[in-house]
């Protein structure tokens, strides 16, 4: 199937890979992106976007711009967003405006310009804590941690009796537990996608992405992309800043695998109406990935700073149960992690990155968002 596809936020990290993948599959691409400064800096943002994609600079909240961008479009991939859990906890209006209102504007415009399918990027952040198993072997959906305090001995969630819970892979059926404004926004985007498609004869699909990494992730944005943030610190000869004790576990999925997932989710008939986790199926501690990245960048001598404090809104463990995406979409992440890190290190080595991590920490601490 060859279509004319609109990618909102398509000049961003994931969007550029999705554009490449869809162009490779014979589609025509238009990108609507406002090229926000936090992600694109002072650049025109078009440098890394595939030259065959048409870039329309515009805001997803601008009705006229969205209507124009939808002209002649067959399907939409909706990625435009402000991305950052911690920052969303004080830039509440900015996040809610782009993420929720922007999504509302897009779907209202789709009433007059219906398309075959919309695939929206959701996030693992909607789960809050991932799924856990208690000491009796029962699954726990609403795990919570002890009240956070400096250098606490117990970062892991516990049950009512204070017994530790064991993290297990998180499937799509786990109840959302919205612990940040960003998570709330992503859930609104997800529900809006499903609510506003079926009645209008459009197919809606949501992909809950886990931690996406790869070359091209904004090194200047200290609020998202833990590997990019660590890489930017190491590049500047600074210690990666690891919150808590570094033993929190995440699922790192390569951006090229994610791009394939979007391209498949756009066409597979059985994806319509579905919501799927997209991850690698492997989990790693943040401390381990920091060490592996330092090794890949030849910066082993720079030890991370273990902050011993948590950011409000962060969760302890969440990693991906990939079963549904494998069964329904035939999706399996194939990128080897060490090779992915080596490629990331190679890309980072020829970049310059303003280090805004200290500023990020100061912004959060000033508001009591690091405990
Ligand atoms: N990177 C991850 O690990 C991850 C994980 C889960 C979900 N996601 C989701 O995937 C999507 C893409 O993320 P990314 O990592 O590529 O982020 P990114 O910041 O690189 O890309 C987002 C793009 O959206 C654009 N944008 C922001 N506000 C806009 C607006 N008002 N109008 C038009 N464009 C606007 C930005 O300029 C940017 O190019 C987002 O929806 C994000 O929530 C990302």
Is 79:12 a contact under the CB 8 Å cutoff?
A: yes
Q: Note the pLDDT of residue 148.
A: 63
Ligand 1 atom 37 nearest Cα: 35
What's the 83 CA to ligand 1 centre distance in angstroms?
Answer: 6
When comparing pLDDT for 348 and 94, which is higher? 94
What's the 27 CA to ligand 1 centre distance in angstroms?
Answer: 21
Q: Say yes or no: CB of residue 123 within 6 Å of ligand 1.
A: yes
- What length is written for the chain? 371
The answer to whether residue 130 scores a pLDDT higher than 70 is yes
Q: Note the pLDDT of residue 150.
A: 57
Residues 6+ apart with CB under 8 A from 339: none
Stated pTM of the model: 0.95
Mean pLDDT of the chain: 92
Ligand 1 atom closest to Cα of 78?
Answer: 41
| Catalytic-labelled residue, pool 95, 132, 182, 223 | 182
Q: Say yes or no: CB of residue 218 within 6 Å of ligand 1.
A: yes
The answer to whether residue 371 scores a pLDDT higher than 80 is no
What's the 37 CA to ligand 1 centre distance in angstroms?
Answer: 12
Is 200:110 a contact under the CB 8 Å cutoff?
A: yes
Q: Say yes or no: CB of residue 80 within 6 Å of ligand 1.
A: yes
Q: Note the pLDDT of residue 296.
A: 93
* Helices of type H across the chain: 13-24, 37-40, 63-69, 85-88, 92-96, 102-112, 181-195, 226-235, 255-267, 286-296, 323-324, 337-349, 357-366
Over the stretch 215-235, which tens digit does the pLDDT of each residue have? 988 887 777 788 988 998 898
pLDDT band at 45 (very low <50, low <70, confident <90, very high): low
Over the stretch 326-339, which tens digit does the pLDDT of each residue have? 999 999 999 999 99
Q: Say yes or no: CB of residue 278 within 6 Å of ligand 1.
A: no
The answer to whether residue 273 scores a pLDDT higher than 90 is yes
* Least confident residue range of 195-204, 316-325, 334-343, 352-361: 352-361
Is 224:9 a contact under the CB 8 Å cutoff?
A: no
pLDDT band at 199 (very low <50, low <70, confident <90, very high): very high
The separation between the first and the last C-alpha atoms of the chain, rounded to the nearest angstrom, is 51
Q: Say yes or no: CB of residue 31 within 6 Å of ligand 1.
A: no
Q: Note the pLDDT of residue 151.
A: 58
Query: Mutate which of 18, 80, 226 to test ligand 1's pocket (most atoms within 8 Å of Cβ)?
Result: 80
Q: Which helix (H) or strand (E) holds 70?
A: none
Nearest of 82, 81, 12, 80 to residue 46 by alpha carbon: 12
Residues 6+ apart with CB under 8 A from 303: 239
Q: Is 187 annotated in the active site?
A: no
Over the stretch 63-97, which tens digit does the pLDDT of each residue have? 999 999 999 999 999 999 999 988 999 999 999 99
Q: Say yes or no: CB of residue 228 within 6 Å of ligand 1.
A: no
What's the 34 CA to ligand 1 centre distance in angstroms?
Answer: 11
Q: Give how far Cα 44 sits from Cα of 164, 229, 295, 336, Å.
A: 49, 22, 33, 32
The answer to whether residue 239 scores a pLDDT higher than 80 is yes
Q: Note the pLDDT of residue 153.
A: 66
Q: Which two tokens stand for residue 224?
A: 């998202």
């Amino acid at each position: 199937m060859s279509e004319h596809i609109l990618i909102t936020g398509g000049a961003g990290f994931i969007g550029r890979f999705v554009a490449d993948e869809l162009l490779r599959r014979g589609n025509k691409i238009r990108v609507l992106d406002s090229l926000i400064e936090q992600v694109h800096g002072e650049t025109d943002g078009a440098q890394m976007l595939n030259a065959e994609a048409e870039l329309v600079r515009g805001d997803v909240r601008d009705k006229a711009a969205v209507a124009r961008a939808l002209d002649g479009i067959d399907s939409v991939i909706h990625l435009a967003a402000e991305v950052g859990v911690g920052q969303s906890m004080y830039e509440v209006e900015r996040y809610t405006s782009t993420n929720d209102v922007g999504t509302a504007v897009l779907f209202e415009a789709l009433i007059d310009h219906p398309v075959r399918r919309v695939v929206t990027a959701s996030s693992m952040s909607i789960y809050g804590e991932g799924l856990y198993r208690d000491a009796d072997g029962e699954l726990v959906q609403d795990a919570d941690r002890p009240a956070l305090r400096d250098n606490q001995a117990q970062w892991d969630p516990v049950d009512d009796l204070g017994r530790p819970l064991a993290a297990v892979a998180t499937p799509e059926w786990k109840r959302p537990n919205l612990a940040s404004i960003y998570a709330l926004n992503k859930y609104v985007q997800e529900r809006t996608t499903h609510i506003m498609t079926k009645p209008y004869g459009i197919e809606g699909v949501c992909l809950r992405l886990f931690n996406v990494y790869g070359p091209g992730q904004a090194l200047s944005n200290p609020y998202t992309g833990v590997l990019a943030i660590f890489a930017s610190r190491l590049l500047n000869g600074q210690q990666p800043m690891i919150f808590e004790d570094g033993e929190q576990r995440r699922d790192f999925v390569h951006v090229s695998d994610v791009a394939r997932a979007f391209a498949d989710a756009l066409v597979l008939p059985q994806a319509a109406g579905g919501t799927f986790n997209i991850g690698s199926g492997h989990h790693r501690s943040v401390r381990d990935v920091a060490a592996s990245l330092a090794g890949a960048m030849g910066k082993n001598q720079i030890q991370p700073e273990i902050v011993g404090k948590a950011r409000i809104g962060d969760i302890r463990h969440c990693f991906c149960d990939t079963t549904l995406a494998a069964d329904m979409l035939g999706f399996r992440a194939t990128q080897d992690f060490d090779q992915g890190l080596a490629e990331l290190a190679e890309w980072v080595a020829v970049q310059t990155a303003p280090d805004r991590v200290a500023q990020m920490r100061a912004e959060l601490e000033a508001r009591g968002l690091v405990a």
